[in-house]
Amino acid sequence: MLKSVAEKPLSLVVIGSTGSLGQSVLAVARAFPDRLQVVGLAAGSNVELLARQAAEFQVKMVSYAQGHWEADFPSVRGLRFLTPREMVTAPEVDVVVVASVGKSGLTPAWAALGAGKTVLLGNNEVWLMAGSLLVERAQANHGRLLPLDDEPSAAWQCLLGEAGPVRTVYLTSTWGTIRSRQLRQHGPVLPGRVVEERSSRRMGKKRAIDATTLVNKATQVAQVHYLCGVPVERIQVVYHPESVVRALVEFADGSLKALLAQPDIRLPIQVALSLPERWPTETLPRLDLLALSRLTFETLEEERFPCYRLAVAAVKGGGTYPAVLSAANERAIDLFLSQQIGFTEMPAVMSRTLDAHRPVSLPTYEDILAADQWARSFAGSQVPE
Ligand SMILES: NC(=O)c1ccc[n+]([C@@H]2O[C@H](COP(=O)([O-])OP(=O)(O)OC[C@H]3O[C@@H](n4cnc5c(N)ncnc54)[C@H](OP(=O)(O)O)[C@@H]3O)[C@@H](O)[C@H]2O)c1
């Protein structure tokens, strides 16, 4: 468990502080200034926002991937410009939140766990790529790896203090079979929902596409599998349009535990930072139980979500398969966004890449990086003549 926050605030580093998830992490830090102290921030290229955040939280360390370091940055006394690896391993850091997007999140997560830090991992690509290896690294170095996303956090909370056995873990989804029936008509065109969601950013689009193909749900399945040791076969995604129940766990004795909350990503972030305590808050939306008229759940017609099925199969296959799947998914999305393939052709790119891969069953860090690189190159070449 995290050390008691009563005596001293937890010192946080946020990797990807300028993104949507990173800004939610900072909103939680802002709400609990006595308990959380942000000491370091890292971003990709949005130096303006990073500078404002650095000034607001008076951080001592910053890092950014693209730019001219100090030349781009207003001078702040005592501010150190570091690499993400240097920042997350600094002795004063208690907790590292990895909220960046893409595989760049792997280095800080790996380094922080190697230094025995607590890591809150929100980055979906890194969960798929190396989740199993990161759990092992946390155990070997007395670090901790915790979930940030809504549904995996809910399942993890339901399982805390339970010795099992578990019959089924249910993760809920608001995107389901009925809505997926409308997808066929889109063919090579971008589905409307994807256009609506932050269409100016490539990775914002990726997140929206992952939500449509349900690859994001497969990533949540992976998180529960790696973190809680529940076999993939026992984790089921169900369509739940009311979006109130985040996850349910059915135990072998027939008891069910559920976690209900209004969807707001700040809640699982706060939970990961506060447990075993529960910090009182007035800023998060409350669930009005009496206003709930019904809760519905529907089986997912998995055959309508081929990318999801491939991703779950890769997690089940283990070894280097999930890393290959994650890279192939990114490349398939790139091909789709650049109009080289249609939306419904993405699963074929992923499936051909998985088929061509020679897996390593107990991969090292280097094996994962090699599999990622190979898969990006192979999947990128899968464009029909
Ligand atoms: N948003 C959510 O509520 C949410 C919920 C669950 C899971 N997730 C997962 O969390 C991850 C982030 O999602 P998001 O929605 O926050 O994406 P986003 O809005 O696109 O933000 C991405 C962040 O990553 C930063 N970044 C990019 N390259 C970097 C690098 N090389 N080094 C350090 N930082 C880098 C970006 O910096 P710049 O802006 O400066 O380029 C930005 O801060 C994704 O894997 C997503 O699937 C997000």
CA diameter of the chain:
64
* Residue 74, CA distances (Å) to 44, 47, 49, 52 in order: 17, 10, 12, 10
Q: Do residues 42 and 12 touch, judged by C-beta distance below 8 A?
A: no
What's the pLDDT score for residue 296?
93
What's the pLDDT score for residue 191?
52
122 touches ligand 1 (CB under 6 Å): yes
181: confidence class by pLDDT, cuts 50, 70, 90: low
Q: Do residues 378 and 327 touch, judged by C-beta distance below 8 A?
A: no
Q: What angle do CA 118, 124, 127 make, to 5 degrees?
A: 60
What's the pLDDT score for residue 197?
45
Q: In 281-383, which ranges are E strands? A: 298-299
List the one residue out of 155, 149, 92 whose CA is nearest residue 123.
149
What's the pLDDT score for residue 200?
47
What's the pLDDT score for residue 188?
40
Nearest atom in ligand 1 to 45's CA: 40
Query: What is the spatial distance between Cα 326 and Cα 125, in angstroms, rounded to a whole number?
Result: 6
198: confidence class by pLDDT, cuts 50, 70, 90: very low
What's the pLDDT score for residue 57?
95
206 touches ligand 1 (CB under 6 Å): no
What's the pLDDT score for residue 177?
59
List the one residue out of 317, 290, 140 whose CA is nearest residue 225.
317
105 touches ligand 1 (CB under 6 Å): no
Q: How far is the CA of 42 from the centre of ligand 1 (A)?
A: 11
Q: List the structure tokens of 51.
A: 């500078």
122: confidence class by pLDDT, cuts 50, 70, 90: very high
Query: What is the spatial distance between Cα 135 and Cα 114, in angstroms, rounded to a whole number?
Result: 11
Question: Has residue 178 got a pLDDT over 80?
Answer: no
Mean pLDDT confidence for 236-251: 95
Q: How many C-beta atoms lie closer than 10 Å to residue 59's C-beta? A: 24
225 touches ligand 1 (CB under 6 Å): no
What's the pLDDT score for residue 72?
65
Q: Do residues 172 and 243 touch, judged by C-beta distance below 8 A?
A: yes
265 touches ligand 1 (CB under 6 Å): yes
